[in-house]
């Protein structure tokens, strides 16, 4: 029956619609600058009805962040096939796609601010970092990482976050260059750690052995040797 | 006149005393776990009197953070003499001294949480990052950095923060090793950027020219070449 009257949405469907509308607005402006009125208007419902589905802006923000976190974590999944450098490069491309799509929302979240920084939002950000960490370890084939490998992986994840944030602030460097650079940075941080620790040296040698001549890691080594000479 | 009665403190003196007491407690436990009652008790005054000097815990927390930020920023000052690697290593030692002294407070601040993440605290953290950034540029002798150098310096600062946070979580790696590693990481990130950009390559070559054979940078290069062979 088409009556010309808009079909009434179920509770969960309406919640999902509002989350989608909020994420769309947060991708254009910082969540601090987006009002419930705007979200209501973009969703075509009244402001009180928004509050019926989400008791306050923070709860809508947290729900939106939860969906975005799941979206981002899903992009880390990468088949365990081919050179490590190429796998990481594909993940970096999907990471920058996400950052590109969610610019202002991503910046506001990572920089903290009035609308963010609750325990729930911090826990979501940490869960994404943990997903990235576990993905990388599984690709390295390491189950019980030594402290120095854990440090390299976790600190590199924070380097990837800050690189993306700096990129968003003016986009002065082509993103493709930064995607490749982060892959190289990972190799460089692992190599620095390996230069002073035998266990890390063993791990890095094992990783390097599986890389073909056209892997991003091998290319970097060639360029660095050229630079040093 | 010694009367046996404690001298009454002036307003500013009392505020400074409370800030010192709060910082001392935040160096042992997260600010979220420290109550105004404890601060009052440690300062030897009543709880209402604390509120006379600071309207709420957040304002006391912000005042404490302001003092700690100034303390940390002051540690970045380093004479512009001798090899760059050695200068950076001395700053890293003072940075880890600070992190060591303020462990739980530093972690809580950088990880965000209920008591932190206000606009004022974020602005203070950013001011410390900016001070670090400007110090490094002045040591590099660069006034108007190209985008790629700015990225290397700013993203390395976030790497130093995350390395310190990971170290605090269990202290499983000797801090002296991490101080040296961060100096090497700086060189490695600059080298990666230089491997793909001529302007960066010129800057890195200029820096490398001034480094003597016993500088941390030169030592790293020797070790990396040994690792690669």
Which residues on B lie below 8 Å from A172 (Cβ)? 147
Q: Which residues of A touch B211 (CB under 8 A)?
A: none
Distance, C-alpha B138 to centroid of its chain: 18
Phi, psi of B27 (to 5 degrees): -80, -10
Q: How confident is the model at residue A2 (pLDDT cuts 50, 70, 90)?
A: very low
pLDDT score for A180: 95
Element (H or E) spanning A33, and its range?
A: none
Q: Is B184 on the interface with A (CB under 8 A)?
A: yes
* Within a domain: B72: yes
Region of poorest pLDDT, from A142-146, A175-179, B38-42, B212-216: B212-216
Residue A120 in tokens:
């729930």
- Mean pLDDT (chain A) is 90
Residue B87 lies in a domain: yes
In a domain, B186, yes or no: yes
Q: What is the pLDDT of residue B118?
A: 72
Q: What is the pLDDT of residue A52?
A: 95
Which residues of chain B from 200 to 229 reach within 8 Å of chain A, CB to CB? Answer: 201, 204-205, 220-221, 223-225, 227-228
Q: How many CB atoms lie within 10 A of CB A203?
A: 22
State the Cα–Cα distance between residues B91 and B80, nearest whole angstrom.
Answer: 12
The CATH number given to whatever domain includes residue B196 is 1.10.357.10
Range with the lowest mean pLDDT among A87-91, A207-211, A224-228, B41-45?
A: A224-228
CA angle (A160 as vertex; B177, A180 as ends), nearest 5: 105
pLDDT at B207: 85
Facing residue for A155 by CB, picked from B150, B162, B193: B162
| Residue A211: strand, helix, or coil | coil
Residue A83 included in any domain: yes
B-chain CB neighbours of A167 within 8 Å are 151
- pLDDT of A129 reads 95
Least confident of A31-40, A144-153, A205-214, B13-22: A205-214
Residue B89: per-residue pLDDT: 96
Q: Mean pLDDT throughout A94-110?
A: 93
pLDDT band (50, 70, 90) for residue A224: confident
Number of domains chain B contains: 1
Using H for helix, E for strand and C for coil, what is the string for A105-170? HHHHHHHCCCCCCCHHHHHHHHHHHHHHHHHHHHHHCCCCCCHHHHHHHHHHHHHHHHHHHHHHCC
Is B39 part of any domain? no
Whether residue A49 is contained in a domain is answered as no
Chain segment B64-74, per-residue pLDDT in tens: 999 999 999 99
- Chain B residue numbers with beta carbons less than 8 Å from the beta carbon of A196 are 177, 180-181, 223
Distance of CA A44 to the CA centre of its chain: 31
CB contact (8 A) between residue B192 and residue A185: yes
Q: How many CB atoms lie within 10 A of CB A81?
A: 7
What is the per-residue pLDDT for A209?
A: 83
pLDDT at A117: 60
| CB contact set of A21 (below 8 Å; sequence gap of 6+) | A39, A42, A43
Instruction: Look at residue B12 and tell me if it is in a domain.
Output: no
Return the residue of B nearest to A178 by Cα: B193
Alpha-carbon distance A156 to nearest alpha carbon in chain B (angstroms): 7
Residue A132 pLDDT more than 70? yes
Nearest to B131 by CA among B139, A212, A95: B139
In a domain, B119, yes or no: yes
- Tell me whether residue A133 is exposed, middle or buried, using C-beta atoms within 10 angstroms of its C-beta: 0 to 12, 13 to 18, 19 or more: middle
Decide if A148 contacts B173 (C-beta within 8 A): yes
Judge whether residue A102 has pLDDT over 60: yes
Interface pTM, i.e. ipTM: 0.91
Tens digits of pLDDT across chain B (229 residues): 444 456 778 899 999 999 999 999 999 998 989 999 999 999 999 999 999 999 988 899 999 999 999 999 999 999 999 999 999 999 999 999 999 999 998 988 887 655 556 778 888 899 999 999 999 999 999 999 999 999 999 999 999 999 999 999 999 999 999 999 999 999 999 999 998 899 999 998 888 888 887 787 777 877 777 777 6
Indicate if the pLDDT at residue A204 is higher than 50.
Answer: yes
Q: Domain range spanning residue B88? A: 65-228
Please tell me the predicted confidence (pLDDT) of residue B134: 97
Which DSSP string do the residues of chain B spell out, in sequence order? ---SSPPPPPHHHHHHHHHHHHHHHHTTS-GGG--HHHHHHHHTS-HHHHHHHSSSHHHHHHHHHHHHHHHHHHHT---S-S-HHHHHHHHHHHHHHHHHHTHHHHHHHHH--TTS--HHHHHHHHHHHHHHHHHHHHHHT-SS--HHHHHHHHHHHHHHHHHHHHHHTT--S-HHHHHHHHHHHHHHHHHHHHHT-HHHHHHHHHHHHT--TTSHHHHHHHHHHHHH-
Confidence (pLDDT) at B5: 54
Q: What is the pLDDT of residue A85?
A: 92
């Amino acid at each position: 029956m088409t009556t010309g009257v808009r079909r009434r949405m179920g509770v969960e469907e309406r919640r999902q619609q509002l989350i989608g509308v909020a994420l769309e607005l947060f991708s254009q402006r910082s969540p601090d600058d987006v009002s419930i009125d705007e979200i209501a208007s973009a969703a075509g419902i009244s402001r009180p009805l928004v509050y019926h589905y989400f008791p306050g802006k923070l709860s809508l923000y947290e729900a939106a962040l939860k969906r975005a976190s799941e979206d981002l974590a899903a992009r880390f999944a990468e088949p365990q096939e081919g050179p490590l450098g190429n796998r990481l490069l594909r993940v970096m491309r999907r990471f920058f796609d996400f950052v590109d799509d969610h610019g202002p929302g991503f910046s506001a979240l990572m920089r903290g601010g009035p609308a963010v920084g609750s325990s729930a939002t911090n826990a979501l950000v940490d869960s994404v970092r943990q997903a990235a960490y576990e993905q990388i370890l599984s690709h390295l084939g390491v189950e019980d990482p030594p402290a120095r490998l854990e440090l390299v992986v976790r600190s590199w994840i924070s380097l990837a976050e800050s690189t993306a944030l700096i990129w968003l602030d003016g986009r002065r460097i082509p993103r493709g260059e930064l995607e490749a650079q982060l892959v190289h940075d990972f190799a460089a941080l692992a190599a620095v750690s390996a230069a002073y620790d035998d266990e890390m040296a063993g791990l890095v040698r094992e990783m390097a052995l599986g890389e073909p001549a056209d892997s991003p890691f091998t290319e970097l080594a060639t360029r660095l040797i050229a630079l040093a000479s």
